[in-house]
Structure 1
Amino acid sequence: MRPTETRSLTGRSFMAVTVHAVAALGLAASPAAAVPTATVAPQLGGACTAAELGTRHPYIKNTEVSPTITHFKGWYVTEGSTGNHTVVTSTETVITVSVGLTGGVEGSFAVATLEAAKASLGLEVKVDYASTSSESNTVVWSFNQPGYYGVYKGTKKVTGTYGSLNCNRSQQSDGSWALKWAEGPGGGSFTTYTTLEEGAVRCQDTVPAGSIMAKAQGLLDCGSPAAKAERPAGAVAPTAKQQQKPEQQDQDRLTRPPARTSGTSAEQPGATGRGARAALDCQTQVYKIAVPGKPLSWGAPVLASDGVRLRPSTIFSAHLDHWRLCNVTESNGVIEATLWNWGNGGCATIAAPDAATDRAVLRTVTCAEDDLQRFYVYRDVPGSSKIGVQNKYTGSMIGHDRYADGEFVRQYSSGRQDGTGTYSLDAV
């Protein structure tokens, strides 16, 4: 492999999803018609089903593989000092596994991204959080000949970019509609690495070009006087090249974006007066966000400390199960909106401290036009009210663990693969 190899993989995905046979089983009219029959990899532009509206899958756009030295020490072996040596190396480069903005590997979507990169490259890479800084810096090596050696640990650093595949309706050339996998928001970059290898290399050794060993040999400064001078056995003072500032893996931490507020204020029916809030341009239509074909809908909390739960609609619901779409925009057939609750006057959100947490509970707070309060809505073909919902800031899909009265509505980085992330947007 060349020292740095870049591969473009746009439009390909390596994550398996379950495809449901619905119409073939005569269950098209049934909301529970999600029967898994086959496992295929979702493809950009490929067909998806209504049960997958609440899911997303990564696909790898491109990758770069770079042999990297993580630990190194110059070591001189004299006549009579051959044999086993224990060498304590110094850290050269720190590589930390990360996906997206969180500086780690949180949630199933991040793991799936690394699994997709692993499959695309055919390399055994780390698919969970790890860092080369936690590796031992000691190398035990048997030196059979005297000479100037570079004792090293190294790996193949793998970086790249990924995109997100979401299920959404698409109009065909003949005017009909179909559900297709489309590139949604939520892409980014990733870093991982292969298993560390260790060894020792001399200036005169012939090594494969672009290999980890060649990288180590390059740190020896073989033409320098230090490499040729007679000296006692043991550590060699680092040369100028070896003293270069170690590469550190930057870690972007997930922080809440600043609130964006408009210059005017507008009241909506049912506002609870919990402080000044941003003006919202809400549609007049009121909706229930319901489990298809079943009586439970999203119900906003009465207490601020509680979260959005599945609730039955009754005459005592006090509009807590009624929602409006506000500040609505649409791009490539995907709606972006703030979800405003008529009953308590709050906006649906994922709390900032929980933004990177899988299964964090959906809540309502004072409306602030924060991206944590913005949601993408993926729709079934016209004539169906089924939707999938995704938080704009976290990229996670909205769903629930089980169908039960009082069950929390939560975020899931990859969505719920059993169809429980598909809801219906029912006009009231």
Structure 2
Amino acid sequence: MATATAAAGLAATPAAAAPAAPAAPAVAQQAAQPGQTCTAADLGKRHPVIKTTEVSPTITHFTGWYVTEGTTGSQTVSTSTQTTISVAVGVNGNVQGSFAVEALGSVGASLGLSVQVNYTSTSTVSDSITWNFLQPGYYGLYKGTKKVTGTYGSLNCNRVQQGDGSYALKWVEGPDGGSYTTYSTIEEGAVRCEDDVPATSLMAKAQSLLDCGSATATAQHAAGPVPSAKATAARHTAESAAKATGSAESAPATAPGARAALTCGTDVYKIAVPGKPLSWGAPVLASDGVRLRPSTIFSANLDRWRLCNVTENNGVLEATLWNGGSGWCATIAQQNPSTERAALMTAACAEDDLQRFYIYRDVPGSGKIGVQNKYTGYMIGHDRYADGEFLRQYSSGRQDGTGTYELVKV
């Protein structure tokens, strides 16, 4: 039985179907696979890997509606919002950047569903349903969709020690990840209490909102809407849960505090563009960002960096980047941390994941690295090679290889 039609003989298909929100076609396969070989040019890149998926039929709009003798035929009915589903990936609260689009495309491909891959919400869906009622009765009119949630990780290029003791560059699952939410095509339909419907279908979900068996369902009423206590309670519960989830996802992992006491290595580095003279230079003013600069006698150690509070997990380094000229640490600004192309800044050092970076390394003997912010998961790169060009963060890194840098000991 089709989801968008009621039991045979009771209702016809809609006179005018509501347009579904646009969904991009699912991608054919992931761009990278765990264990595949990568190159030094991939050190500054990132691809998603889908870890879990869950599909839940969800009613987004609903109303109870009486059809009496003489009121059958085509009617346009307004529904009320039951559940709002917003597309989101990670800490953003929406969808920004190519990584999120690739992740959601991978979800759709794995499930065989056409899902939303750009930021949207079911609150943008029209609440009216035009339906052709063939017989009198007590109906639940609904719109709904398949809500898709789950978790993801990211694949990064990093050195891996092989069985013979040698090293090779391979795509490995990085230490970062998060959760996602999306949904499939919006469907609409009508259902009665006495209809026999599949237990896990949208029709069954809508039927549960009809107060079947109550005096409301069996009493005689004039044609038109009827309030549903279950529908109202479900809506309030969903709205409260959405507010709680939204507030939790939008909060930074750690609020900046007083200057942290760092344990830094003795080695001092330039973080340079491989084979070229420009390297990372910290700003003099806090309002400025980290830029590509030449190293000269006038650099005042602003091109000198130390790795502090270093840890290593499965071959991936995690460190705070302390600048020898300013005494401040590299960071992503906390006002809107997951903005695509946000500039890399410096700030007073604090125990804050916005100031922590994963460092992916080439095989021993090479100083080439890729750099990823721990909190946002975005990779560091630059738009073009030029004096004064900002270092920025990119959700998928720089696919042309310009996100690969080199640690040069000085």
TM-score class normalised by the smaller sequence: 0.7 to 0.9
Q: Unpaired segments of 5 or more residues in structure 2? A: 4-25
Aligned amino acid, residue 145 of structure 1 = Q
The partner residue of 1:214 within 184, 196, 204 is 204
TM-fit CA distance, 1:396 = 0.9
Q: Secondary structure at the match of 1:101?
A: helix
Q: Secondary structure at the match of 2:335?
A: helix
Aligned amino acid, residue 312 of structure 1 = P
Residue 93 (structure 2) aligns with: 103
Counterpart-to-counterpart distance in 2, 1:97 and 1:285 = 44
Q: CA RMSD in A?
A: 2.1
Residue 167 (structure 1) aligns with: 157
Aligned amino acid, residue 346 of structure 1 = W
Alignment pair present for 1:335 and 2:317 = yes
Q: Is the 8 A contact 2:211 2:228 kept in 1?
A: no
Alignment pair present for 1:319 and 2:301 = yes
Q: 1:231-257 CA distances to partner (integer Å, 9 max, x unpaired)?
A: 211112314465433413321214362
Counterpart-to-counterpart distance in 2, 1:223 and 1:132 = 30
Residue 218 (structure 2) aligns with: 228
Q: Secondary structure at the match of 1:293?
A: coil
Q: Secondary structure at the match of 2:107?
A: helix
Aligned amino acid, residue 188 of structure 1 = G
TM-score, normalised to structure 2's length? 0.88
Residue 356 (structure 1) aligns with: 338
Structure 1's consecutive aligned runs of 4 or more residues displaced over 6 angstroms after TM superposition are none
Q: Secondary structure at the match of 1:51?
A: helix
Aligned residues: 380
Q: 1:168-216 CA distances to partner (integer Å, 9 max, x unpaired)?
A: 1010011010111111122111111112111212233343442212221
Moved more, 166-175 or 193-202: 193-202
Residue 114 (structure 1) aligns with: 104
TM-fit CA distance, 1:356 = 1.7
Residue 310 (structure 1) aligns with: 292
Q: Secondary structure at the match of 1:247?
A: helix
Counterpart-to-counterpart distance in 1, 2:337 and 2:193 = 51
1:369-380 → structure 2 map (5 Å cutoff): 369-380=351-362
Counterpart-to-counterpart distance in 1, 2:207 and 2:350 = 56
The structure that is helix-richer by fraction is 2
Q: Is the 8 A contact 2:31 2:47 kept in 1?
A: no
Alignment pair present for 1:381 and 2:363 = yes
Alignment pair present for 1:84 and 2:81 = no
The partner residue of 2:250 within 248, 253, 256 is 253
Aligned amino acid, residue 117 of structure 2 = V
Moved more, 179-188 or 155-164: 179-188
Structure 1 pair 305–256 and aligned structure 2 pair: CA distance change class (3 A): farther
1:126-165 → structure 2 map (5 Å cutoff): 126-165=116-155
The partner residue of 1:52 within 18, 42, 61 is 42
Q: Is the 8 A contact 1:203 1:217 kept in 2?
A: yes
Q: Is the 8 A contact 1:350 1:360 kept in 2?
A: yes
Residue 62 (structure 1) aligns with: 52
Q: Secondary structure at the match of 2:163?
A: coil
Q: Secondary structure at the match of 2:173?
A: strand
Residue 191 (structure 1) aligns with: 181
Moved more, 234-243 or 114-123: 234-243
Q: Is the 8 A contact 2:331 2:356 kept in 1?
A: yes
Q: Secondary structure at the match of 2:85?
A: coil
Counterpart-to-counterpart distance in 2, 1:197 and 1:393 = 37
Residue 29 (structure 1) aligns with: none
Counterpart-to-counterpart distance in 2, 1:197 and 1:329 = 50
Q: Secondary structure at the match of 2:250?
A: coil
Q: 1:100-156 CA distances to partner (integer Å, 9 max, x unpaired)?
A: 223211222222211111111111111111111222211121111111111111111
Residue 35 (structure 1) aligns with: none
Q: Is the 8 A contact 1:92 1:246 kept in 2?
A: no
Q: Secondary structure at the match of 1:354?
A: coil
Give % identity.
Answer: 69
Aligned amino acid, residue 298 of structure 1 = W
Q: Unpaired segments of 5 or more residues in structure 1? A: 4-13, 17-38, 262-276
Q: Is the 8 A contact 1:91 1:246 kept in 2?
A: no
Moved more, 214-223 or 141-150: 214-223
Aligned amino acid, residue 147 of structure 1 = G
Counterpart-to-counterpart distance in 1, 2:318 and 2:229 = 56
The partner residue of 1:124 within 100, 110, 114 is 114
